Structure 1
């Protein structure tokens, strides 16, 4: 049986998704997060035990974000690249946090099974429930289940930028909607759009690892008939018009494709942007305004902001 090396990075909540991307792009077989904020958060779950967790497992501030690497690719060069990439987030106005890195060796069985007890079904919006594949959950009328395998995905679907996106999607998706998900990552927003009634969803990501993971999650949720996943650089070359464009991505990246929205969105279409750190919100809103869009809804959790905009 193969042994794995757990590379655990002490970073900030706002850097979580970016650092998870770094770990996965470097070859991590999966990631896990210990976020100090969950100890104080009141989650709406069908099982009270989901966050009855041991405080000693969590940092006093920020998060521990772990990536799991096979012994064949682990080494000092890997650790150096992860540290450099994490510290480099400061140039995007993301606080990288302490950037302390610790490692430990663990068996494949320990990695694959021991952490599963921490993940239970979680309601992320009025209708959407995210649940790990190994848990049972009987939906009530109107509820839609999104299945995830957190061990091999980009997280558990409960990061604030993701939950804010899904809440806004729920308010704008109607049966038959057409959607483009820019920078789709795990594909969870594309799947959510399909579960909410979207008829045709195009999920785009430049990272081939993300594309394959998104395809796996689309298949896991039996959404292949509504969701297509393609490797693409933002909205470049997209010549179709859709009802909704959604992007859970850094503000700097949103700014790069705002000028393309008028080409891709229907005249009365909707843009949903998340992954926007509060300090960058005004810049994004101004860019949207310059492109002829105005904000019609805004949600915030912590330092993260998500907005809905229309022309």
Structure 2
């Protein structure tokens, strides 16, 4: 089978938004090449090993790559992607020149490209994400392993917004909690919640491909008993009484359901939101406070902010 690599050269501010556009267009995953990764002072607290080749990275800006099957609908899909990226400026997101290039690769080349970027990574004190093809042995009895295949999933779990979410889940989730994961994508947050002791996790996403992928990852990690998946538009029509609601999506999307999230939480429950560009955080904070939340904690990683809000 032939695949088309679509490479978009843009800005760091636009990474999350463009990745989401590629996902919605049916991409099997994203690769992010950022020159700053070569000079970043990586936190080796958990023993990560990063193998980075400078020739894989642009001299400035960020390359965001994804893979689409070569078929009769490819041209229309690429036009759809370009149009969606152009519209990001209407939301105040700086995309730069956002040049788009296409190149054809074989399925074998596509698989090798993924493996080059993806190694076992210790994300938090207890959580390690490992590709399914690696044999990884836990370094301590309380270490929890999440197995993912980035060829199947949107996101490998190592983007700053996901790392922030995983860290907050580890700190605020209590064994036996009921969790709602809004915009689950690859399912990594739902899997982590289950492994951290959640009794029930409902994962929702509007995209049917994401639900299919998340189901495969949930099965791979043997958490089918705790995690249920449903195709749904954010939290519309949902009922429940959750201890934790987690959402790693764009700030603009979080703003659409803060009121409903408050209603779905138990008193004392937590809303964990990430995927928020720093300059957009004041809008999110304002909406959360207006809907009755108390801001419990905010954490920043580079240009990204995660917030923990409590329903007092």
The alignment's TM-score, normalised by the length of structure 1, stands at 0.93
Kindly state the Cα deviation for residue 173 of structure 1 after the two structures are TM-superposed: 0.9
Question: Secondary structure at 2:238's aligned position in 1?
Answer: coil
Correspondences of 1:167-186 after superposition (within 5 Å): 167-186=167-186
Contact 2:16 2:275 in 1 (8 A): no
Matched with 1:199 is: 199
Matched with 1:255 is: 255
After superposition, the CA RMSD in angstroms is 1.7
Change beyond 3 A, Cα 1:276–1:30? closer
Q: Find runs of 4+ consecutive structure 1 residues off by over 6 angstroms.
A: none
Matched with 2:8 is: 9
Kindly state the Cα deviation for residue 291 of structure 1 after the two structures are TM-superposed: 1.3
Deviation readout 1:215-252 (Å, 9 max, x if unpaired)? 11111111111111101111111121010011111112
Kindly state the Cα deviation for residue 144 of structure 1 after the two structures are TM-superposed: 0.6
Distance 1:227 1:155 in 2: 19
Change beyond 3 A, Cα 1:287–1:31? closer
Long gaps (5+) in structure 2: none
Matched with 1:287 is: 287
Distance 2:43 2:196 in 1: 22
Q: How many residues align?
A: 308
Matched with 1:91 is: 90
Kindly state the Cα deviation for residue 46 of structure 1 after the two structures are TM-superposed: 4.2
Change beyond 3 A, Cα 1:283–1:114? closer
Question: Secondary structure at 1:167's aligned position in 2?
Answer: helix
Kindly state the Cα deviation for residue 18 of structure 1 after the two structures are TM-superposed: 2.7
Contact 1:46 1:121 in 2 (8 A): no
Distance 2:287 2:113 in 1: 46
Change beyond 3 A, Cα 1:115–1:201? closer
Matched with 2:65 is: 66
1:136 aligned onto 2:135: yes
1:224 aligned onto 2:224: yes
Change beyond 3 A, Cα 1:100–1:176? same
Distance 1:150 1:54 in 2: 20
